[in-house]
Amino acid sequence: MKKAVCTFLAGVFLLPAAACARPVEPDLSDYASGMAEIPVEILGELDEETLADLVEEPKYVALTFDDGPREDTTTRLLDGLLERGAAATFFVIGQQVPGNEGLIRRMKAEGHQVGNHTYSHVRLITADMDTVVEEVHKAEALLTEAAGEGSFWLRPPYGRIGAERAELIHTPMIYWSVDPQDWKLLNKDKVVAAVLDAVRPGDIILLHDFYSTSVDAALEIVDRLQKDGYDFVTVEELFRIQGVEPQAGVLYARPDRTRSLD
Ligand SMILES: [Zn+2]
């Protein structure tokens, strides 16, 4: 029903106004998720693109950003993700939280996951045990203050922590399965190409919101992969979708693949 007609009818027949705000399109989410077969009479009316979307398995991928927040680049990234309806995960350096609390709150409010990348980006695998605990807890305290209580999953700087030190960590730890080396390339087109070349459903992509070229690349990656039928979800959502319960102290490259700690 056209909105104007609906509003008119609402006036005449006292329909609840909310009824007019409902989408005109039928809700096909059950069909899309494979929960129901598509009735033949609907199937005949769908255009080819919609049909392909319904028949294909949904594809999910997680973008992760390390080493922020940084006011200018992270703000631009959040604006772009919001515009595109894409969620991401931010592994934040604790000492960069003071002064950027608003960005952390914005991440949470806009459906992103906030994670811990230690207080000062130390090499955990060689740090002494007390330093490991202190670095993780100090960042956690700042994140809790900015974002409220929560579980802030850890991404060890450089992706390494070692088995002995991993026992000190009381959250899941996240590595990655696609690394375009954006910090080294500092070139949007090369980063986009490296990711599009490698990406598969269920991947965890490593990027850094600290670099302007990486923000440009991330937004183009979202545009290109969304066109290809991908949905961008947080790491936590990716685990939930794949039915994997992540364990504390375990380092995951993807929900279905752990990584050796040494
Ligand atoms: Zn880092």
Supply the DSSP string of 220-248, one letter for each residue: HHHHHHHHTTEEE--HHHHHHHTT--PPT
The pLDDT tens digits for 160-178 are: 999 999 999 999 999 999 9
Give this prediction's pTM.
Answer: 0.80
The pLDDT tens digits for 27-51 are: 555 555 545 555 666 666 777 777 6
Report residue 53's pLDDT band, with 50, 70 and 90 as the boundaries.
low
Per-residue pLDDT, 7: 41
Contacts of residues 120-124 at CB distance under 8 Å and 24 or more positions apart, as own/partner, are 120/93, 120/94, 120/95, 121/67, 121/93, 121/157, 122/157, 123/157, 123/158, 123/160, 124/156, 124/157, 124/160, 124/161, 124/162, 124/165
Structure tokens at 118: 């230690």
Q: Would the pLDDT of 194 be above 80?
A: yes
Per-residue pLDDT, 47: 76
170 an active-site residue? Answer: no
Domains, the chain, with CATH or none = 3-55 (no CATH), 59-258 (3.20.20.370)
Separation between Cα atoms, residue 66 and residue 110, nearest integer Å: 18
Catalytic residue among 67, 208, 209, 216: 208
Separation between Cα atoms, residue 207 and residue 220, nearest integer Å: 13
Per-residue pLDDT, 123: 97
Helix spans in 14-100 (H): 18-21, 29-32, 40-43, 48-55, 71-84
203 an active-site residue? Answer: no
Structure tokens at 116: 């811990």
Containing 107, the helix (H) or strand (E) segment is helix 101-109
For 61, other C-beta atoms within 10 Å of its C-beta total: 24
Q: Who wins on pLDDT, 124 or 47?
A: 124
Average pLDDT over residues 133-147: 98
Average pLDDT over residues 179-191: 98
For 240, other C-beta atoms within 10 Å of its C-beta total: 14
Distance (Å) from CA 117 to ligand 1 centroid? 7
The pLDDT tens digits for 56-115 are: 778 999 999 999 999 999 999 999 999 999 999 999 999 999 999 999 999 999 999 999
Report residue 12's pLDDT band, with 50, 70 and 90 as the boundaries.
very low
Q: Which residues in 151-171 are b (16+ Cβ under 10 Å) and which e?
A: bbbbbbbebbbeeebbeebeb
Q: Would the pLDDT of 19 be above 80?
A: no
Average pLDDT over residues 185-207: 98
Report residue 145's pLDDT band, with 50, 70 and 90 as the boundaries.
very high
Structure tokens at 234: 């947080």
Average pLDDT, the chain: 88
Report residue 8's pLDDT band, with 50, 70 and 90 as the boundaries.
very low
Per-residue pLDDT, 46: 73
Residue whose structure tokens are 């980006």: 121
Q: Would the pLDDT of 181 be above 50?
A: yes
Distance (Å) from CA 133 to ligand 1 centroid? 18
Residue whose structure tokens are 């752990």: 258
Distance (Å) from CA 64 to ligand 1 centroid? 11
3-state secondary structure of 119: coil
Catalytic residue among 66, 67, 182, 209: 66
Q: Would the pLDDT of 13 be above 50?
A: no
Distance (Å) from CA 247 to ligand 1 centroid? 22
